[in-house]
């Protein structure tokens, strides 16, 4: 049995739902009253793939998205296998600084990044142009490996996001074989 650790950075602007997204995945909990992360918060989750042939301890770094915490990003990227960039689908402007985030990630780690839209349950507040814009970002960004829509409130695509991302990261590791069902239809 192979045991490994995967450090995954979860980043994006403040208030986009990073902490709610991670709490839903790790603890299967959702709170309407989640507080913004100040600095960095750490969560972990043990997962098994291929039956028990591949044990993986996920170390999830929840980065505060406010400007005063951006200086920590370079140190946080060190040793990361990948990053999830979250944005609030109801706030189009939460994608405004993606170029800055991606440049920083590429400069300090050159790791795979997945674009994750949050709050997809609020369909009436989401711009019709958002999917096209997000897909365009994925196509133009060398490190972007896909885009998925999620909702921590309804638990929509939370586990699928991690299954897909871990499969992508796992393909880079010896002894890893994907055991997840195809979720390609969820990934844009």
Task: Average the pLDDT over each of 66-70, 104-108, 169-173 and give the range with the smallest value.
Answer: 66-70
* CATH fourth-level superfamily of 2-181: P-loop containing nucleotide triphosphate hydrolases (3.40.50.300)
At 20-38, the pLDDT tens digits run 999 999 999 988 877 666 6
| Tally: H helices and E strands in the chain | 5, 6
Q: Residue 39: its pLDDT value, please?
A: 63
Distances from the Cα of 59 to the Cαs of 17, 21, 67, 125, 184, in angstroms?
18, 14, 23, 33, 25
Could you identify the residue written with the tokens 């970002």?
137
Q: Residue 159: its pLDDT value, please?
A: 95
At 112-160, the pLDDT tens digits run 999 999 999 999 999 988 999 999 999 998 889 999 999 999 999 999 9
What is the C-alpha separation between 102 and 8, in angstroms, rounded?
Answer: 15
Q: Residue 42: its pLDDT value, please?
A: 82
Task: Average the pLDDT over each of 47-56, 118-127, 156-165 and give the range with the smallest value.
Answer: 47-56
161: DSSP letter:
H
How much is the pTM? 0.86
Task: Average the pLDDT over each of 73-77, 79-83, 100-104, 123-127 and give the range with the smallest value.
Answer: 73-77
**Strand ranges for 40-186 from DSSP E:** 40-49, 54-63, 82-88, 113-118, 144-149
If one compares 179 and 107, the residue with the highest pLDDT of the two is 107
Q: Residue 51: its pLDDT value, please?
A: 62
If one compares 21 and 101, the residue with the highest pLDDT of the two is 21
């Amino acid at each position: 049995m192979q045991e490994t650790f995967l450090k995954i950075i979860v980043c994006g602007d403040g208030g986009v739902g990073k902490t709610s997204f991670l709490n839903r995945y790790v603890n299967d909990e959702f709170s309407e009253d989640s507080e913004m992360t100040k600095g960095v918060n750490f969560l972990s989750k043990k997962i098994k793939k291929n039956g028990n042939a591949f044990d993986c301890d996920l170390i999830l770094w929840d980065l505060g998205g406010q400007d005063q915490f951006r200086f920590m990003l370079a140190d946080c990227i060190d040793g990361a296998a990948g990053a999830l960039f979250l944005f609030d689908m109801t706030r189009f402007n939460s994608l405004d600084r993606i170029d800055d985030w991606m440049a920083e990630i590429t400069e300090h780690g050159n790791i795979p990044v997945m674009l994750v839209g949050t709050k997809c349950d609020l369909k009436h507040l989401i711009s019709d142009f958002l999917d096209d814009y997000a897909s365009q970002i994925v196509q133009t960004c060398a490190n972007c490996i896909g885009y998925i829509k999620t909702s921590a409130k309804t638990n929509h695509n939370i586990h699928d996001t991690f299954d897909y991302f871990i499969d992508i990261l796992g393909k880079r590791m010896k002894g890893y074989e994907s055991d997840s069902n195809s979720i390609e239809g969820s990934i844009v």
